[in-house]
């Protein structure tokens, strides 16, 4: 059994979990600073904090990878996608992040019919 993909998905889930923990910590800090637990814990203030944090959020690895694949116009291996996705994102990204996002994108979501695997670690998008 090839466990590489499973390890990539696990790494993606751990990264997402770390981001959620960071957001929860930030909310707790805001709650403590506000001094008023009723006002800070209300659903409206939670939405305001969440959306203010994500207003300028970067695009997902999946979205960026699909953009690169569309621009390139032919199948690409993950190792070739990673530098292009990193350039678009403006930060370093790992092969596991990009590969895992594409595998999950193939499995479910609005892009599942768009993404195709042409060979191990090689993906394309239907035009």
Q: How many other C-beta atoms are found inside a 10 Å radius of the C-beta of residue 2?
A: 7
Closest by alpha carbon to 102, among 60, 74, 59? Answer: 60
- Helices 4-34 and 43-54 meet at what angle, rounded to 10? 120
| pLDDT digit string, tens, across residues 107-117 | 887 777 889 99
| pLDDT digit string, tens, across residues 79-110 | 999 999 999 988 889 999 999 999 998 888 77
Cα 54–52–110 angle (5° rounding)? 30
Higher pLDDT, 19 or 36: 19
Confidence of residue 10 (pLDDT cuts 50, 70, 90): confident
Whether residue 43 is predicted with pLDDT greater than 70 in this model: the reply is: no
- What's the pLDDT at 110? 75
Cα 8–14–17 angle (5° rounding)? 145
Whether residue 41 is predicted with pLDDT greater than 50 in this model: the reply is: no
- What's the pLDDT at 66? 92
For residues 54-76, one letter each, b for 16 or more C-beta atoms within 10 angstroms of the residue's C-beta and e for the rest, the string is eeeeeeebbbbbbebbeeeeeeb
User: Any idea where the domains of the chain sit in the sequence?
Assistant: 4-54, 61-125
Whether residue 50 is predicted with pLDDT greater than 70 in this model: the reply is: no
| Cα gap 40→27, rounded to integer Å | 9
CA distances from 69 to 48, 49, 54, 92 (A): 34, 34, 25, 18
Provide, rounded to the nearest whole percent, the portion of the chain with pLDDT above 90: 35
Confidence of residue 36 (pLDDT cuts 50, 70, 90): low
Q: How many other C-beta atoms are found inside a 10 Å radius of the C-beta of residue 98?
A: 27
| pLDDT digit string, tens, across residues 17-27 | 777 777 777 77
Which CATH architecture does the domain made up of 61-125 adopt?
A: Orthogonal Bundle (1.10)
């Amino acid at each position: 059994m090839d466990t590489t993909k499973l390890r990539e998905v696990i790494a993606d889930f751990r990264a997402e979990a770390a981001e959620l923990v960071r957001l929860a910590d930030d909310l707790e800090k805001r709650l403590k600073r506000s001094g008023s637990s009723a006002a800070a814990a209300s659903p409206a203030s939670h939405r305001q904090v969440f959306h203010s944090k994500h207003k300028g959020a970067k695009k997902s690895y999946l979205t960026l990878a699909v953009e690169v694949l569309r621009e390139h116009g032919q199948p690409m291996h993950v190792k070739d996608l990673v530098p292009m996705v990193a350039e678009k994102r403006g930060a370093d990204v790992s092969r596991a992040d990009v590969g895992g996002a594409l595998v999950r994108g193939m499995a479910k979501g609005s892009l599942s019919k768009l993404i195709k695997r042409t060979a191990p670690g090689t993906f394309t998008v239907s035009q």
